[in-house]
């Protein structure tokens, strides 16, 4: 049990990479909060997982664009679990649009969720973790945090911001017992990309030297390592989990 007794919060925990991470943390002995939109599957998933894992899973509704809701989410987690040892700052949305057509509101919406949302959650968690003198935060970035791709101006701006903000938070937290890292997934088979047409999906698969999409549990396993004490000397890192995407072309 690699996370026995750990108290972990996963934003965007109702679906895809987040849900898979919640499941892996429960299997490794942690108590886990699924934090996701009120209208998501979070309440349903938490009830089912709570039943299978000795009452160690609960749902807290949150919209990461609201500072008030994020602060309440962390306060409620601490009230329910007695503290906060780990966070997967994973809630996010996609967005595809050529730059010349990008509307302000669409651009700012992606930044608000994928970058400012990560900041709000990290800030609230760090305040608690500084009080404890310990904690580990993992921010979900992307290969598009270190690579450009056409039609993704907002997404690449947000994810690039997450990668570099992670380094700053890591430096600030380093002497206070708080580690902060990010994960850069390649394209992963989740509902986020399920809606893409087959031709586009195949072109994305072809970008990975391994010739396939990643599985949510392959990101969950990377999260598990970074959030655990096994990564006790790892901070400020961006762990790319991408089937060779960023290694170059085959
Ligand atoms: N799937 C991929 O190919 C891929 C690749 C790289 C990075 N990522 C990143 O991984 C993370 C998870 O993506 P996924 O593929 O599992 O997607 P997903 O759509 O399956 O899950 C995202 C979750 O975030 C939640 N969410 C969205 N907006 C929210 C908000 N304002 N407040 C709270 N929760 C909100 C959704 O309800 C959903 O449950 C995202 O940050 C995404 O950018 C995904």
* CATH code: domain of residue 59: 3.40.50.720
Tell me the C-alpha distance between 100 and 64, whole Å. 28
Residue 247 belongs to a domain: no
Mean pLDDT (whole number) for 77-105:
98
Residue 2 belongs to a domain: no
Residue 77 belongs to a domain: yes
Q: By C-alpha distance, which of 142, 144, 165, 48 is closest to 90?
A: 142
Question: In the structure encoding, which two tokens stand for residue 204, read together?
Answer: 């994305």
Q: What is the DSSP letter of 241?
A: E
Tell me the C-alpha distance between 201 and 208, whole Å. 12
Residue 249 belongs to a domain: no
Cβ atoms of 199 and 155 closer than 8 Å: no
User: What percent helix, strand, coil does the chain show, rounded to 5?
Assistant: 50, 15, 30
Minimal-distance CA residue to ligand 1 atom 40 = 92
Cβ atoms of 154 and 107 closer than 8 Å: yes
* pLDDT per position as a tens digit, 125-150: 999 999 999 999 999 999 999 999 99
Residue 246 belongs to a domain: no
Domain that holds residue 119: 7-240
Mean pLDDT (whole number) for 82-89:
99
The rounded Å distance from CA 188 to ligand 1 centre is 11
Residue 197 belongs to a domain: yes
Residue 60 belongs to a domain: yes
The answer to whether 155 is a known catalytic residue is yes
Counted domains in the chain: 1
* pLDDT per position as a tens digit, 211-248: 999 999 999 999 999 999 999 999 999 999 999 999 99
Tell me the C-alpha distance between 136 and 228, whole Å. 8
Q: Please give all residues whose beta carbon lies within 6 A of any atom in ligand 1, as ranges.
A: 11-12, 14-18, 36-37, 40, 62-65, 90-93, 113, 140, 142, 185, 187-188, 190-193
Residue 235 belongs to a domain: yes
Other CB atoms within a 10 A radius of the CB of residue 51 amount to: 10
């Amino acid at each position: 049990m690699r996370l026995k007794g750990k108290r972990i919060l996963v934003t965007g925990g109702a679906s895809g990479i987040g849900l898979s991470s919640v499941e892996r943390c429960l299997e490794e002995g942690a108590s886990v909060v699924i934090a996701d939109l009120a209208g998501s599957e979070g309440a349903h998933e938490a009830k089912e997982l709570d039943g299978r894992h000795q009452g160690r899973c609960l749902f807290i509704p949150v919209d990461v664009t609201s500072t008030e809701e994020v602060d309440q989410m962390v306060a409620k987690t601490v009230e329910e679990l007695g503290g906060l040892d780990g966070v997967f700052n994973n809630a996010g949305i996609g967005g595809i649009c050529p730059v010349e057509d990008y509307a302000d509101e669409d651009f700012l919406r992606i930044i608000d969720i994928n970058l400012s949302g990560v900041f709000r959650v990290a800030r609230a968690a760090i305040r608690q973790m500084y009080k404890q003198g310990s904690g580990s935060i993992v921010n979900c970035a992307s290969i598009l945090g270190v690579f450009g791709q056409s039609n993704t101006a907002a997404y690449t701006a947000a994810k690039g911001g997450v990668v570099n903000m992670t380094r700053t938070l890591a430096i600030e937290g380093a002497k206070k017992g708080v580690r902060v890292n990010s994960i850069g997934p390649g394209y992963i088979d989740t509902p986020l990309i399920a809606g893409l047409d087959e031709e586009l999906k195949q072109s994305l698969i072809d970008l990975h030297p391994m010739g396939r999409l990643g599985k949510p549990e392959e990101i969950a396993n990377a999260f598990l390592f970074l959030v655990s004490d096994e990564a006790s000397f790892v901070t400020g890192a961006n762990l790319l989990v991408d089937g060779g995407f960023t290694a170059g072309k085959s």
